Amino acid sequence: MNKTILFAALLSTLLFTACSSKKEEKLEEGKYTITNPLMMDTSFTKDYVAEIQSLQNIEIRAKVKGFIESINVDEGQHVSAGQLLFTIRPKEYEAELIKAKANVKKAELELQNVKKLAEKNIVSPNELSLAVAKLDEAKADEVLAELYVGYTKIKAPFEGTIDRLKFKMGSLIDEGTLLTTLSNNKSVYAYFNVSEAEYLDYKSRAKNKNNATLFLANNMPHKYKGQVETIEAEFDKNTGSIAFRAKFPNPELLLKHGETGKVQLSVDLKNVLVIPQKATFEIQDKFYVFVVDANNIVKTRSITIKQKLSNIYVIESGLSVNDKILLEGIQTVKDDDKIKTEFIAAEKAIAQINK
CATH of the domain at 224: 2.40.30.170
Give the pLDDT of residue 350. 82
pLDDT score of 43: 81
Give the model's pLDDT for residue 220.
95
Residue 143: CATH number of its domain:
1.10.287.470
Instruction: Indicate whether 73 and 101 sit together in one domain.
Output: no
Q: Which residue type occupies 154?
A: I
Q: Answer yes or no: is 5 within a domain.
A: no
The boundaries of the domain holding residue 144 are 90-151
> Does 107 share its domain with 169?
no
Q: CA-to-CA distance for 269 and 201, rounded, in angstroms?
A: 10
Q: Which of 134, 151, 168 is the last residue of a domain?
A: 151
Helix and strand totals (H; E) in the chain = 5, 19
CB 35 within 8 A of CB 278: no
Q: What is the predicted pLDDT for the residue at 349?
A: 83
**In the beta sheet, which residues pair with residue 87?**
70, 153
Q: How far apart are CA 143 and CA 167, in angstroms?
A: 29
Alpha-carbon Rg for the chain, nearest whole angstrom, is 41
Question: H or E stretch including 26?
Answer: helix 2-29
Q: Do 213 and 260 fall within a single domain? A: yes
pTM: 0.69
Q: So what's the pLDDT on residue 23?
A: 38
- Is residue 288 domain-resident? yes
**Residue 181 covered by a domain:** no
Q: Report the C-alpha dihedral over residues 223, 81, 164, 184, rounded to 10 degrees.
A: 30
* 79 and 172 belong to one structural domain: yes
User: What's the pLDDT at 354?
Assistant: 66
Tell how strand 325-326 and strand 178-195 pair up.
unpaired
Bridging pattern class, strands 298-308 and 286-292: antiparallel
Q: Could you read off the pLDDT tens digit of each residue along the chain, which spans 355 residues?
A: 444 444 444 444 444 444 444 434 333 446 899 999 999 988 888 899 999 999 999 999 999 999 999 999 999 999 999 999 999 999 999 999 999 999 999 999 998 998 888 788 887 888 888 989 999 999 999 999 999 999 999 999 999 999 999 999 999 999 999 999 999 999 999 999 999 988 887 887 656 555 799 999 999 999 999 999 999 999 999 999 999 999 999 999 999 999 999 999 887 788 899 999 999 999 988 999 999 999 999 999 999 998 888 889 999 999 999 999 999 888 899 999 999 999 998 888 888 776 6
- One domain, residues 264 and 199: yes
Number of domains in the chain: 4
Report how far residue 294's alpha carbon sits from residue 280's, in angstroms, rounded to the nearest whole number: 20
CA distance 241 to 243: 7
